[in-house]
C-alpha cells in the first residue's frame, strides 16, 4: 500500500509545521515518524538528533512553559500594582492558553496514534 502523504517513506525534514505557539515554525516528526534513540529510531542518530520528534516536542513544551510563566508574572504584576495594562495581561494569558491547548491536542493525537499502533497485527 502506497503512502499518499509521504509519511512512511525515507528522508527527513518533513512533518507538521506550526505546532509551536504563534507560528514558531516548530516541526513535528521526521517523515519516517522516528524518534532518535527510541525503538525504530534511526541507527546512529544520537539521542538529540536535529529535527527529531522528541527534541522538537521538548522545545514546544519549553516554549509553552515560558508563555505560562510570562502570563503568571503579568497577572501577579497586575494584582500587585506594578503594572496597569490590563489588555496586555489578558493577551499574555490568552496566548499561553492557546499554546497550551495546541500542545494538548498534539499530545492527544500522539496518544491516539499510539493506541492505533497497538491494534496493528503483525
Which segment, 23-37, 46-60, 95-109, is predicted with the most confidence on average? 95-109
What pLDDT is stored for residue 89 in this prediction?
A: 95
Q: Is 116's pLDDT higher than 80?
A: yes
Start-to-end CA distance of the chain, whole Å, equals 15
Residue spans per domain, the chain: 1-122
What pLDDT is stored for residue 36 in this prediction?
A: 40
What pLDDT is stored for residue 47 in this prediction?
A: 52
Per residue in 85-112, pLDDT tens? 999 999 999 999 999 999 999 999 999 9
- The predicted model gives 8-23 an average pLDDT of 42
- The predicted model gives 33-42 an average pLDDT of 42
CA distance 43 to 27: 21
Q: Is 42's pLDDT higher than 70?
A: no
What pLDDT is stored for residue 60 in this prediction?
A: 93
Report the predicted TM-score, pTM, of the whole model to 2 decimal places. Answer: 0.57
Amino acid at each position: 500500500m502506497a503512502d499518499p502523504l509521504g509519511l512512511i517513506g525515507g528522508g527527513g525534514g518533513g512533518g507538521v509545521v506550526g505546532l509551536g505557539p504563534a507560528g514558531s515554525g516548530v516541526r513535528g516528526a521526521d517523515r519516517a515518524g522516528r524518534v532518535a534513540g527510541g525503538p525504530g529510531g534511526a541507527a546512529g542518530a544520537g539521542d538529540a538528533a536535529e529535527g527529531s520528534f522528541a527534541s522538537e516536542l521538548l522545545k514546544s513544551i519549553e516554549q509553552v512553559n515560558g508563555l505560562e510563566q510570562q502570563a503568571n508574572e503579568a497577572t501577579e504584576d497586575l494584582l500587585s500594582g506594578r503594572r496597569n495594562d490590563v489588555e496586555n495581561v489578558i493577551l499574555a494569558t490568552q496566548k499561553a492558553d492557546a499554546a497550551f491547548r495546541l500542545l494538548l491536542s498534539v499530545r492527544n493525537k500522539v496518544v491516539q496514534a499510539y493506541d492505533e499502533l497497538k491494534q496493528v497485527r503483525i
